[in-house]
Amino acid sequence: MIAEAPQIDLIAERKEILKRYKQLLKNAKPLLKGDDAKIIKKAFAMSMDAHQDMRRKSGEPYIFHPIAVAQICVDEIGLGTTSIVAALLHDVVEDSHYKLKDIESLFGERVAKIIDGLTKISGVFEHGSSQQAENFRKMLLTLSYDVRVILVKLADRLHNMRTLDSMSSDKQLKIASETMFLYAPLAHRLGLYAIKSEMEDLFLKYTEPPEYRGIALKLKQTKAARNKFISDFIAPIEAEIKKSGFNITIKGRPKSIFSIYNKIKNQNTPFEKVYDLFAIRIIVHDLKTDEEKAACWKVYSIITDFYKPNPDRLRDWISTPRSNGYESLHTTIMSSLGQWVEVQIRTERMDDIAEKGYAAHWKYKEGDVSNAEAGLEQWLSRVREVLENNDAPALDFVDNFRANLFKEEIFIFTPKGELKPMPAGSTALDFAFEIHSQIGARCIGAKVNQKLVPLSYVLSNGDQVEILTSVKQKPSEDWLKFVFTSKSKGKIREALKDSLRTLADDGKEIVARKLKHAKIELTDEIQRKLMDFYGEKSAIELFSKVAKHQIDLSHMMDFDKPTFKEEQQPTITDKKDFVREISKIKGEKTDMLLIGEDMEKIDYNLASCCNPISGDNVFGFVTVSEGIKIHRTTCPNAIELMSKFGYRIIKARWTSQKELAFPAGIFIEGTDRVGIINDITIIISTELKVNMRSITVDSDDGIFTGKIIVYVNDTKHLDHLMEKLSNVNGILKVSRFDYGDK
């Protein structure tokens, strides 16, 4: 008997859609003016029509999604009518009969351009390219026209992450990894810290579910104790700050689950030992802009009268705001119970900008916020510079974008004391190009803090830099090896192309003369044959190498003789073709992994970057030349692989058809004593009958650390071994570590 599909109550759904739409209008009301409500109503009607028969994977009406994205734009970013309309219509062109020209005629060119930036590219992509990277580049190109394309995309991505439960596990991994690789850093760069933190937490929820649930549970269990601690901590300082005449709000909040997870992992310490699980935020109200800085420092002074600060943890983002406009004073202080507490001091305006980032600047545009706004505009200006040099393949473009614009910043002083922000990793030559392209092209060296340094010198925060130039200097190809910013690379390549063209003209003349002696004219066809003969990709490369005497012209007249090439092996670009071909060649064979949509048994290799073992959460990755590689979902390379090459990710899951031994790394730390190594090896080799591949131990001043590589059957086997080792007298920490086979 076949079970009937549940009946959908269309009337109830219609009521729920209207309820959500009215809530959106209600929340947006303070941001609307004139006919804005009518424009939003028109966009809602078009979205309803475009998505009327569509449903999400969860079974909900699709229209819930664009309404939710618009709601995020209003509530969490503070955007107005243009963004609300773009959010309501962001999937219309992709999913329905409506075209961009329809949107432009009804809502104008600006809305149409934003939606075009949000619409995915369709069609076939070259082998080795990435659709995700192509779409990301397309969206960023729109960013140079209107930053709201990114803000709406972040709202869209946040809602997709919030509703990932209904997706299959491999889709969850792909979307979560892409979010972590591209969108969380973008949210951070645009000052949307709440959105960035939630994206990171949701990434952890779907890639490391047990760890996420464990930390969330412990935060819940310790909430009452934490609240009492915060209440006791703030009581004396709150009274004193208010006595000084300040109107303040004090908030205590736990750190994000993801940041706690990182501390646990990086410091190799349990949850209970993470010292700064929460931060306290003090917000000062009712201040004029010119009073803000002094007020924040006065509050800091009052706090440090009661509690001792850690001098190494003071961060002044008020005097020098971050490039995304973030302003705040951060300090870490010791409580009377011996616990470190992070305190953030800021004004109401600063807090609004910290919560809503870029969009909040427009609210304060009339006030004097030039410092913060200038920083944000400088960052957007750097974005546009990267976009101007966008002729690289999409994957290189995305890597370049991340390297230049998601990096932490350093601040460099000019000889006259002007402050210039640069990405961390910038060199003296990058700084020269930052000042002016001609100064960069003629740079021969620099003085950093009055000391002579080479062009490749990597700058540090606070350096004062003077650039030295010479009219005889010209950019060389070697410069590309040590410059960091896209601006520098673009300008160097431009200069090299100009010089290469001059060389190529000389080389072309040499070839033309040689051919003329043989009564042959240098036509486009002859040029193409010469390129094939010498294996050069372009005419410029061919002729410039001739001019530099890097090509032997003594056999040039053989270019027209027939050559016999080896038959090329067919390349497989589609993962289903790959699985099918492997199955044809291999036939049936018992294995420990089921791979692909149909969970077939096919050949694979275990990735040496993360060494997965039976029981680990894993995925398959179709490589170009090494077949299918199996990676752990927590592999250091997983985020990049999934975000760039989602179409080459294959489902994989362990079965228990036969027992194999997998190498796994165990890290141990403890107090040194006579016989401790013997106790460890007895447990591993004698008691549990586990084979060891290697063991290395270091001891320093009574503390020892060791790394052991053992062969285990699966994660349960490994967990049991680690539990036994943790009970050895003197051992304080036992954890698994990733290692790569060298």
DSSP string covering 558-577, please? GGGS---PPPPPPP--SHHH
Residue 570 within any structural domain of the chain: no
- Does residue 273 register a pLDDT over 80? no
Q: What angle do CA 214, 341, 304 make, to 5 degrees?
A: 175
Q: What angle do CA 8, 14, 19 make, to 5 degrees?
A: 130
User: Residue range 59-68: average pLDDT?
Assistant: 92
- Does residue 571 register a pLDDT over 60? no
Give me the number of domains the chain comprises: 6
Q: How far is CA 707 from the centre of its chain?
A: 31
- Does residue 376 register a pLDDT over 50? yes
Answer yes or no: do 647 and 536 share one domain.
no
**pLDDT tens sequence across 651-692:** 777 765 445 677 888 888 888 777 788 888 888 877 667 777
Torsion of CA 127, 133, 135, 141, to 10 degrees: -120
Residue 381 within any structural domain of the chain: no
Answer yes or no: do 298 and 336 share one domain.
yes
The Cα-based distances of 7 to 13, 58, 161, 381, 631 in angstroms read 12, 15, 28, 54, 42
- Does residue 208 register a pLDDT over 50? yes
CATH of the domain at 50: 1.10.3210.10
Answer yes or no: do 254 and 158 share one domain.
no
Q: How far is CA 442 from the centre of its chain?
A: 35
Answer yes or no: do 223 and 366 share one domain.
yes
> End-to-end distance of the chain based on CA atoms, in angstroms?
58
For the whole prediction, is pTM greater than 0.75?
Answer: no
The whole-angstrom separation of Cα 447 and Cα 465 is 6
Q: What's the whole-number average pLDDT of the chain?
A: 80
Answer yes or no: do 47 and 162 share one domain.
yes
CB neighbour class for 734 (10 Å; exposed up to 12, middle 13-18, buried from 19): buried
For residue 652, what is the enclosing H or E element?
Answer: strand 649-654
For residue 14, what is the enclosing H or E element?
Answer: helix 10-28
Q: What angle do CA 605, 609, 611 make, to 5 degrees?
A: 60
Residue 399 within any structural domain of the chain: no
Of the residues 374, 400, 430, which one is the last residue of a structural domain?
Answer: 374
User: What is the number of H-type helices and E-type strands within the chain?
Assistant: 30, 20
Of the residues 173, 207, 241, which one is the last residue of a structural domain?
Answer: 207
- Does residue 2 register a pLDDT over 60? no
Answer yes or no: do 203 and 58 share one domain.
yes
Encoding tokens for residue 414?
Answer: 């000019």
What is the percent of the chain with per-residue pLDDT over 70, rounded to a whole number? Answer: 83
The Cα-based distances of 27 to 45, 72, 453 in angstroms read 19, 10, 57
User: Residue range 354-379: average pLDDT?
Assistant: 58
The whole-angstrom separation of Cα 576 and Cα 677 is 50
Answer yes or no: do 679 and 630 share one domain.
no
**pLDDT tens sequence across 634-657:** 888 888 888 777 777 777 777 654
Answer yes or no: do 88 and 220 share one domain.
no
* pLDDT the model gives residue 128: 44
Beta-sheet pairing, 419-423 with 315-316: unpaired
Instruction: Give catalytic residues, as residue numbers.
Output: 94-95
Answer yes or no: do 266 and 351 share one domain.
yes
The whole-angstrom separation of Cα 40 and Cα 88 is 8
Answer yes or no: do 306 and 165 share one domain.
no
Answer yes or no: do 54 and 173 share one domain.
yes
* pLDDT the model gives residue 603: 66
Residue 485 within any structural domain of the chain: no
The whole-angstrom separation of Cα 553 and Cα 413 is 52
Instruction: Give the residues across from 313 on adjacent strands.
Output: none
The whole-angstrom separation of Cα 666 and Cα 697 is 12
Which residues make Cβ contacts (< 8 Å) with residue 43, sequence separation at least 6? 84, 85, 88, 89, 107
Residue-number span of the structural domain to which 450 is assigned: 408-475
* pLDDT the model gives residue 593: 56
Residue type, 484: F
Residue 487 within any structural domain of the chain: no
| C-alpha closest to that of 381 among 461, 487, 488, 480 | 487
Answer yes or no: do 26 and 160 share one domain.
yes
The whole-angstrom separation of Cα 694 and Cα 392 is 44
The region, left, alpha or beta by phi > 0 then psi within -120 to 50, assigned to residue 59 is left
Torsions phi, psi for 482 (to 5 deg): -125, 0
Of the residues 207, 225, 256, which one is the last residue of a structural domain?
Answer: 207
Residue 201 within any structural domain of the chain: yes
CATH of the domain at 674: 3.30.70.260
The Cα-based distances of 650 to 325, 596, 653 in angstroms read 41, 5, 10
Residue 730 within any structural domain of the chain: yes
Residue 385 within any structural domain of the chain: no
